[in-house]
Chain A
């Protein structure tokens, strides 16, 4: 059966990133999560499979730490998971990531639709879907908010800065969805239980023959620090706190 492949990335939660006073970045304590908008990509695949027929599956390219993502992703409805498991994912740039995903998509075989989110919550580079399309020579539609299907065609509405553009394509195709495309529900207990029993296929770098050489060279990573006054008015009742705030703002000359 033809597959609808949702690509998601397992990323460090940016809310847990600690910036040291010397602006060095400590990411070691950050929990992993499915990149926020990739949940919309997964939901879009599940919804598309319902309308188009076929099987929604997930695909991720990540190191061994991405393990917990599999069950999480499958609890959101897809039937099978694919994982390109490679330590090199840590150093991957857009070129490498797209090559890895494209190679896996080819290996998976018969697919009618590949769905990415517009941007990952770490890179927010908004590159991967068009790159995959180019590598596999598939048509690409980005910035998608609405998808409808007519036979084997996809009619998609794109949200651009100042217009809504509706386009049509014969499948297979690659799509990047905006978070406005849908509202992914929280997985229920039953779905979480069922996820553990769904099949997972792992690919190694050797299985796919991927060229892992990044094109971009990262030369520095620096935390952003913002120095603010951090004055919290917490003494007394609400009325007196508000008075203190108003007085402070008057003193700063911003009122």
Chain B
């Protein structure tokens, strides 16, 4: 069955990818690796749900089976949700089939057997446009397309899972952070903050502004001072607040990628050469330990 094949380990993204495939008028086949996923996908508007059935609980172990199946079906395109699992599986399929792949595209268009994509490189500094003809693989983050609905038949295909990697255990990560994507204002702390207790200074400012607290990657991934949901950037949250105020954030491009759509960017940093000032609407060069409490007081008044 020639057509567009879609896969995501997240049901919502899978539904959006089906919506993308249908929007171009092509047949959309939704792939999955468990009966439960198949049942849920069945009402999401695909032309068919294809359940590759084997005996491993790890989707990654079906990489080879999926590649073989797509080849056998003469698939045109594989579109995968850009999650950790999705990216991994997509790249495996591309590796087995030695074909082109574009990761985490910002825009894509598929017509007449040609895939045209745009994606950012160099942490967000550069946008690269690529085209690929022939079967290829692309990954896309959630939220780009509208899901559709409609009943689909489930086709079960028995396949061999790769037995080499086995599951030992899985533990849920409890989300403790706030959803910065909805925030109207965000106060952001960077590695210029000397110690965890000083977060209070940022919180006080955030309270006055009715803002949420965000941070750079190092604050959550290295120092573990704030939950990972709260770091902003290309590998973290991409936000669109009216106001973003940073303190002790140098403004490396990977972080800035996450705040590009802020209406106003305000930066407080002690280094006048910090790149953040190039990306800011307003800025003060100075010690945040002096400036931020003053700002909080001024805004209270």
* A interface residues, Cβ below 8 angstroms from B: 12, 14-15, 17, 19, 25, 93-95, 98-99, 121-135, 139-143, 155, 158-170, 173, 176, 179-180, 183, 214-224, 226, 228-234, 238-239, 241-243, 245-246, 248-249, 252, 254-255
Query: Which chain A residues border B242 with CB–CB below 8 Å?
Result: 254
CA distance A21 to B24 in the complex (A): 36
Q: Which of A124, A165, A226, A248 is B167 in contact with, Cβ under 8 Å?
A: A165
The minimal Cβ–Cβ distance linking A229 to chain B, given in whole angstroms, is 4
CA distance A230 to B116 in the complex (A): 35
Q: Which of B98, B104, B299 is A255 in contact with, Cβ under 8 Å?
A: B299
B125 touching A217 by the CB < 8 A rule? no
A218 touching B129 by the CB < 8 A rule? yes
Q: Which of B102, B168, B172 is A162 in contact with, Cβ under 8 Å?
A: B172
* A interface majority secondary structure: mixed
Contact sample, A vs B, 7 pairs, CB 8 Å cutoff:
A125-B104, A180-B222, A222-B126, A230-B281, A232-B272, A232-B280, A232-B284
B103 touching A219 by the CB < 8 A rule? no
| Known contacts A133-B92, A134-B95, A223-B125; A142 and B84 CB within 8 A of each other | yes
Q: How many residues of B contact A (CB 8 A)?
A: 88
Interface residue B1 (Cβ < 8 Å from any Cβ of A):
no
Q: Which of A25, A216, A242 is B132 in contact with, Cβ under 8 Å?
A: A216
A95 touching B100 by the CB < 8 A rule? yes
* B interface majority secondary structure: mixed
| Known contacts A93-B100, A230-B278, A254-B264; A243 and B298 CB within 8 A of each other | yes
* B interface residues, Cβ below 8 angstroms from A: 58, 60, 63-64, 67, 83-85, 87-96, 98-104, 116, 120-132, 134, 136, 162, 164-173, 175, 185, 209, 221-222, 234-235, 242-243, 252-254, 256, 260, 263-266, 272, 275, 277-286, 290-291, 294-295, 298-299
The minimal Cβ–Cβ distance linking B186 to chain A, given in whole angstroms, is 12
B98 touching A238 by the CB < 8 A rule? no
Nearest residue, chain A, Cβ from B217: A179
